[in-house]
Structures are given as structure tokens and as C-alpha cells.
Amino acid sequence: MNKSSFTYKKSGVDISAADKFIRFISNISSKKKGKKKYKNIGGFGSLTDLPSNLKNPKIVACTDGVGTKIEIANKLNKFNTIGIDLVAMSVNDLIVQGAKPLFFLDYISINKIDLVKLKLIIKGIINGCKQSDCELVGGETAEMPGTYEKGKFDIAGFAVGVVDKDKILTKNKIKLNDLILAVPSSGLHSNGYSLIRYLLNKKKINIKKNKFLKSELLKPTKIYVKEVLGLINKNLINSCANITGGGLEDNIKRIIPENLVAEINLEKIKTYEIFRWLKKNNVSDKEMLKTFNCGVGFCLIVNPKNFEKTKKFFSTSFKPYVIGKISRGKNKIKLNGFIDWK
């Protein structure tokens, strides 16, 4: 063989390593409980059935990533939770329209196939799918030398769900005097990490030596699928919002109809130590509210008579509580008071 011949492997792309990874995904997926009608991993496309109990099924699709939280994972060499984040970012959006997640696909682009790292990421994705009662049916892993620096990668996720037409959560279901409930987050979730990393760099904070930050920065995003779908099935909520980038203001106003306003009492918000830490490190109130969830991972809009019933669907750590109500107005959202950061 001519030693000077060109090969894909010499360019930095190892197809055999990618094949090993695909076999790993196929094997670990097949070990999960539940009979799978279709063997999707490794095929050209993925098949699924629509639930047979829906009268007028509608498909809902979402896509998202985890932003620069992956840089924290790289820094701490910990990759078993960001897969959960990836699933959460999409499925928590699906349920806002009342959809049950059916399946999930991932896209991973990386400088060079690292089986140890990728296996941990996939295990997290499968964990997230299990929490969401959906199936990982496929994806793409792209080895991209020259595009990413050594050790760098990015991930994206795609979720598809289904909802019966009469169960779709629309703006017109929100009524005057409905309560706005805050469902606690598990922490930072997956937003604001570019600001966090900027702060860490400017203040020269080594997170490897900071026990508090090590425990907080990679906490996985809470997945609200089972609780929210349970509420929808019992007709206990009128609408809901996933509190991600843009915070309470930007996300809640997306679901408010014309001539109504969501009045939020910020002093009611139960925040966490990680947000107090950010506030103490010179992040303004305005920036906190615009960038982070501040302790509120999800919001529910409910009829006051359903409030107590709603709480029963959540564990103690994630019990919803009242932070406002729906009033008449034209600005869609009004933030009153200030969060108590003490």
C-alpha cells in the first residue's frame, strides 16, 4: 500500500470509532424496559406509531441545545448529566402545548470521537428520555476535525410529541383572575452559562476547587413532563410556560392573550443559594430576571379552585406556589416588587 495515500482516518475522521458508538447506543437502548416495535438505531430513519386512543392527534416538534453549559462539563470532566439537560430543554417545551413526548433524536458534533465522553452523554440522554416516557430513536454523531478545538463538542436535541386537538393548551383558555403558579427549578437549568463563565473568568474563580459551584453548575434540568401531563389529563390547568432564556417576563408573555396581563409579585419567588451567589457577584436584578429562572423553572396558569389539587401532582421539592394572577391590561406582563435575595 502506498504510504502517502490519503484516507478519511488520516484527515481526522475515524468511521470505525463512530460505528462502535452506534453499536453501544443500540445495545444500551435495547436493554431499557418496554417492548420496542421498531429497531430504529442505526437505520436511515426512525419509525413510531401514534397512540391509538387519540381522536384527532396533532404532532408537536421542538428542538434545543444546552448552550455553553457544555463548557462547564468539559472543565469539570463530568458528562453524565448534560444529556438529561438536552432532553429537558425540548420536552419541557413540548408540554407547554399539551403534547406527550413520543421520541427524541440527538445531534453530537465533536472534534474527535471520544467513546468515554460520548457514552456518558448518551446515558444521560436515555435517562432523560426515561424520565419523559419517550424513546431515543436515532441521531447523528459528526466527527469534525478543524471545526472544533481539541476536546470541544456541541449537542442538540429534537423532540416530537402528540396531543389530541381538544387537549391543546391555547391562549384563549386563560381567564381573568386565574392564578399564576411557580413550579421550582432544580437550579440554573441550562440558561445563562455564558454570563456565568464570563463572571468566573473575570473573578478568576477556579470551579474545580469550589465545592459549592462544582455541585451547582452541572445540576441537571428538572423534567416536568409527568406532572404536567397528569394535570392536563385531569383538566386542572389552563396554560403553562417553560421558564428558560429570557426569564419569567419573556416566557410568560408568550402565552398571555390580548387584553390580559400576568401580574407577578416578585417578592413571592423562593430563590436558591446559587442565584443569591450570582446576585452577590454584581449581577443586577434586571439582568438576573432576564437571564436566569431565579428559582422558577416552570409556570402554571390555573383556576383558583384547582390550586390545591394541582399541588398534589408534585413532590415536596417541586410543590407549586402562587406568585401572581391574571388581570386586565395590555402589556401582557407586569412585574411588581423585588426578589428577596437574602
Note the pLDDT tens digit of each residue in 28-46. Answer: 775 555 546 667 677 788 8
CATH class of 15-39+53-167: alpha beta
pLDDT of residue 2: 58
79: number of Cβ within 10 Å: 22
Is residue 241 within a helix (H) or strand (E), and if so which, with residue range?
strand 239-242
User: For residue 280, what are the CA distances in angstroms to 123, 265, 283, 288?
Assistant: 35, 22, 7, 11
By three-state DSSP, how is residue 77 classified? coil
pLDDT of residue 213: 97
By three-state DSSP, how is residue 105 classified? strand
pLDDT of residue 46: 81
| Residue 8 Cα to chain centre, angstroms | 35
d(CA 163, CA 100): 6
The parts of the chain modelled with pLDDT lower than 50 are: 35
Note the pLDDT tens digit of each residue in 152-198. Answer: 999 999 999 999 999 999 999 999 999 999 999 999 999 999 999 99
User: For residue 311, what are the CA distances in angstroms to 89, 144, 174, 217, 236?
Assistant: 23, 47, 19, 28, 11
**71: Cβ–Cβ under 8 A, 6 or more apart, which residues?**
193, 197
Is the domain 171-187+222-336 a CATH 3.90.650.10 member? yes
d(CA 188, CA 10): 41
SS3 content of the chain, % helix, strand, coil (to 5): 40, 25, 40
d(CA 25, CA 141): 11
d(CA 287, CA 164): 38
pLDDT of residue 196: 98
Domains of the chain, by residue range, sit at 15-39+53-167, 171-187+222-336
- Closest by CA position to 165, among listed 99, 240, 228: 99
